[in-house]
Amino acid sequence: MARALINVPQKAKRGEIIEIKTLMSHPMETGFRPGMDGQLIPRDIIEKFVCTYNGEVVFSAQLYPAITANPFISFTTIATDSGTLVFSWTDNKGDTQVQTASIQVE
Amino acid sequence: MNRLVALWLVCAALPAAAQDARKSGFAFMGPDTQAMQTDDLANPGMLFVLEGDALWKAPVGASQKSCASCHGDAPQTMKGVAARYPDFDEATQAPIDLAGRIIQCRAERQGAAPPQREGHELLALTSYVAHQSRDLAIAPAQDARLASARAQGAALYSTRMGQLNFSCAQCHDDNAGGHLGAAPIPQAHPTGYPLYRLEWQALGSLQRRFRNCLSGMRAEPISAGSADAIALELFLMDRATGMKLETPAVRP
Amino acid sequence: MNTTRRQFSLLAAGASFALVTPARATPDSMKESIQAFTGGRPVTDGRIKFEISLLVENGNSVPLSVLVDSPMTKDNHVTRIGLFNEKNPMPDVAIFNLTPRSGRAQIATRMRLNDTQFITAIAEMSDGTYFSARSGVIVTMPACVEE
């Protein structure tokens, strides 16, 4: 169960700049914290965030341990055509979680 | 304690229209943290509500029933429930908190493993149920059988404890609005639970919050789900009668 | 399960403090990270509106936003925005890759701050120039944490 909150307007005017907010459920364990046994808790972070719009990358980000648990990322994109936005979050083990949203452009 | 109860009775006796000096912890936060709570798309607590929504609909356990199989559409059937809890449980003839009720349903009615207190699953379900009462006024259960536990909670609240010999009331009644270090001291109203505490980097219950204050007082922890914890919750909810629920709130 | 960061560090302090104390970013290592980002090219102050609270209640989650003055056309746009800090264990915070399809050079996120310090935002333009803005943040501690 991917747990992410995304706001993409269902409808937008062609050429309109839309603001997209994303919130992903993730501990963002830094790898710098010692655990019970005195050893560092292994790093477990989202390293890469990508947003494609009808297949083309419109925005991406590289994240480091300094980003908050349950990472929040907001950015803008131009509403060009009706279609699908795909959001993906990839962690440092290579696992990717994906969520999609559709938009109708008039 | 007498003074506190007297004070509190005075407050409770005031007509609703009179000035209410009670303030949610929300009012003591900075604008950034307030904005994080009020925007559902920026509130990390909403991730747990979202997960609770999925859990509500998923069949589990020996019964292969979901919460929805018995309770239907949560926005309708669970509306106002969290504003009333803790309530009296006929089965055990004792007060029960909302999380306790959900554990009971999961274990006994769904035939699934009982979820852990403060575990992810229980927090998600509890925040989902409590979220259905957001913006509703706290309206504690009126069952007379809750009175003794509520009085026990009131007593706990004003009892000095721990190595520092503090009571909850000393900070949250006598010094509310002041500061402890850099942190403002709120009035300890249980309006937002389960809530996302930035310090925890996660969602947590009111009873987890008690543990933080108790450790600050160098006092013995009160374990979650215990009679004392539920008594304290009963008292605080009663003290907050009429205040609006905010679940999932955000706190520093 | 319920053990927290502070408990962790206390226990660890008992066990083997030297082993687990992570290296910290320093103003110098931040400079290095910025050099890596810009390829050593000069950075000019300006063109960036960097919003972050001066005083934050909890360093675990500090909201910030960056808005760069740019027409965001094919020929003239912001390609990357980098965020850097001086005192967390690592100087890098995040790098955002923008495109002309962004429409506006604007991002927002939330970061962790170990301590009171300066944060730097750098924008890379499509013509290979760099602009920066800097902001100091004072981190206060919440009370009554889990110890």
CA distances B57 to B52, B65, B66, C88, Å, are: 9, 9, 5, 42
Q: C123 pairs with which residues across the strands?
A: C81, C131
CATH number for C24-141: choose from 1.25.40.10, 3.40.50.970, 1.10.287.130, 2.60.40.2470.
2.60.40.2470
Of residues A4, A69, A72, nearest to B42 (C-beta)? A72
Contacts with B40 from chain A: Cβ below 8 Å:
5
In B, minimum Cα distance to A7 occurs at: B41
The SS3 of residue B174 is helix
Same fold, B45-131 and B141-251: yes
Q: Measured between CB atoms, does B49 come within 8 Å of chain A?
A: no
Q: What is the pLDDT of residue A43?
A: 94
In A, minimum Cα distance to B43 occurs at: A23
Cα(B249)–Cα(B245) distance, rounded to whole angstroms? Answer: 9
Q: What is the pLDDT of residue B176?
A: 93
Contacts with A37 from chain C: Cβ below 8 Å:
15
Using pLDDT thresholds of 50, 70 and 90, give the confidence band for residue A36: confident
Count the neighbouring beta carbons within 10 Å of the beta carbon of residue C127: 9
> β-pairing, A96-105 with A11-12?
parallel
Count the neighbouring beta carbons within 10 Å of the beta carbon of residue B195: 27
Domain B45-131 has CATH 3.40.50.2300: no
The SS3 of residue B86 is coil
Given 3-state DSSP classes, what are the helix, strand and coil percentages for chain B, each rounded to the nearest 5? 45, 10, 45
Q: Measured between CB atoms, does B44 come within 8 Å of chain A?
A: yes
A73/C92 Cβ within 8 A: no
What's the token pair of residue C113?
């701050």
What is the set of domains in chain A, with CATH numbers? 4-31+42-105 (2.60.40.10)
Instruction: Using alpha carbons only, give the angle B125, B127, B130 rounded to the nearest 5 degrees.
Output: 110
How close does chain A come to B204, measured CA to CA in Å?
14
Cα(B94)–Cα(B149) distance, rounded to whole angstroms? Answer: 9
Sign of CA dihedral C134, B196, B118, B178: positive
Contacts with A74 from chain C: Cβ below 8 Å:
65, 107-109
- Interface contacts A/C by beta carbons within 8 Å: 117
What digits encode the pLDDT tens for the residues B61-109? 999 999 999 999 999 999 999 999 999 999 999 999 999 999 999 999 9
What's the token pair of residue B61?
């356990």
Break chain B into its structural domains and give their ranges.
Answer: 45-131, 141-251
Domain B141-251 has CATH 1.10.760.10: yes
The tens-digit pLDDT sequence of chain C (147 residues) is 333 333 322 222 222 222 333 456 778 889 999 999 999 999 999 999 999 988 888 999 999 999 999 999 999 999 999 999 998 888 999 999 999 999 999 999 999 998 889 999 999 999 999 999 999 998 887 777 765
**φ, ψ (nearest 5 deg) of residue C136:** -90, 145
B201/A27 Cβ within 8 A: yes
What's the token pair of residue B153?
């909670």
